[in-house]
């Protein structure tokens, strides 16, 4: 076992789990050696953040809140939900639509939040499931698409080789760093990211950090 990295074993399956800053540093060094443009970006960004989050209902609800809105707007809405103590499944089920709208949720996101509350996901079991199974399980819930599931796998489960190519900030950062003629599509960026395995989640962290420098704003909450 290398410093800061553990392996999670499932049925015919093993994955790296990012658990500490040393894991991120190891991945960043590998990426910088493998791709000169990542080395260039890393000189600008410096050390990359760990960005580990708890797992569970609240983190998925937070990801739903972040869908298709700016980082600033998502942070404001999430702050109002926390202040109103509306971040647990029972609280969401019991809350009125008016209370959820007052916190900033749209009608569609209210429906998604209630669907998540009713889904009864076994979050503990997801910790030991292969990433493909995690994403398949989560995307069965209305309102949780591939992007949301991948973000959860990256930040809440620490999966080192998961990427979120549907993320607009990652697409724009890749366009700028790799001097592409246009922003890559989700499919195109997913193909590009294959070369960054087994550290695709660290590549995402590096691209988000690069985006922040290039655009002078956060690309991920």
Verify that 131 and 65 share a domain, yes or no.
Answer: yes
Kindly state whether residue 104 falls inside one of the protein's structural domains: yes
The confidence band for 36, taking pLDDT boundaries of 50, 70 and 90, is very high
- Which alpha helices (DSSP H) does the chain contain, by range? 21-34, 36-45, 57-66, 71-83, 89-94, 97-103, 107-119, 123-126, 131-138, 146-155, 168-177, 186-193, 200-215
Q: Are 198 and 211 in contact (CB under 8 A)?
A: no
On whether residue 126 sits in a domain, the answer given is yes
The answer to whether residues 141 and 67 belong to one domain is yes
Q: Does residue 178 form part of some domain?
A: yes
Q: Are residues 176 and 116 in the same domain?
A: no
Is 48 a domain residue?
yes
Are both 19 and 107 inside the same structural domain? Answer: no
Average pLDDT, the chain: 92
User: What is the count of structural domains for the chain?
Assistant: 2
Same domain, 143 and 174: no
**pTM recorded for the entire structure:** 0.88
- Split at pLDDT 50, 70, 90, the class of 221 is confident
Do 62 and 151 fall within a single domain? Answer: yes
pLDDT score of 65: 93
In a domain, 67, yes or no: yes
Boundaries of domain holding 178: 5-27+37-52+161-209
pLDDT above 90: percentage of residues in the chain: 87
Give the model's pLDDT for residue 2: 37
| Residues 146 and 66 both lie in one domain | yes
What is the rounded CA–CA span in Å between residue 141 and residue 107?
17
Residues 48 and 62 in one domain: no
Q: What is the pLDDT of residue 50?
A: 95
Question: Does the residue 32 lie in any domain?
Answer: no
Who has greater pLDDT, 68 or 19?
A: 19
Pair 168, 109 in one domain: no
**Each residue's pLDDT tens digit, 81-127:** 999 999 999 999 999 999 999 999 999 999 999 999 999 999 999 99
Same domain, 189 and 147: no
The per-residue pLDDT for range 116-165, each reduced to its tens digit, is 999 999 999 999 999 999 999 999 999 999 999 999 999 999 999 999 99
Q: Across residues 156-177, what is the average pLDDT?
A: 97
The residues pairing with 153 across neighbouring beta strands, listed in sequence order, are: none
């Amino acid at each position: 076992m290398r410093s800061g990295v553990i392996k999670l074993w499932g049925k015919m399956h093993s994955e790296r789990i990012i658990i500490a800053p040393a894991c991120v540093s190891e991945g960043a060094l590998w990426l910088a050696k493998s791709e000169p443009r990542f080395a260039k970006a890393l000189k600008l960004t410096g050390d990359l953040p760990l960005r580990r989050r708890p797992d569970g209902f609240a983190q998925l609800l937070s990801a739903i809140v972040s869908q298709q809105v700016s980082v600033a707007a998502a942070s404001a809405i999430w702050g109002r939900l926390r202040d109103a103590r509306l971040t647990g499944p029972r609280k969401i089920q019991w809350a009125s639509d008016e209370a959820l709208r007052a916190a900033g949720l749209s009608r569609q996101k209210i429906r998604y939040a209630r669907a998540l509350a009713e889904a009864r996901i076994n979050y503990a079991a997801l910790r030991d499931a292969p990433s493909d199974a995690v994403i398949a399980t989560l995307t069965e819930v209305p309102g949780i698409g591939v992007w949301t599931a991948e973000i959860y796998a990256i930040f809440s489960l620490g999966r080192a080789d998961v990427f979120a190519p549907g993320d607009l900030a990652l697409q724009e950062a890749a366009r700028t760093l790799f001097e592409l003629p246009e922003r890559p599509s989700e499919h195109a960026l997913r193909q590009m990211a294959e070369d960054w395995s087994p550290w695709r989640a660290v590549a995402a962290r590096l691209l988000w950090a690069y985006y922040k420098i290039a655009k002078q704003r956060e690309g991920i909450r």
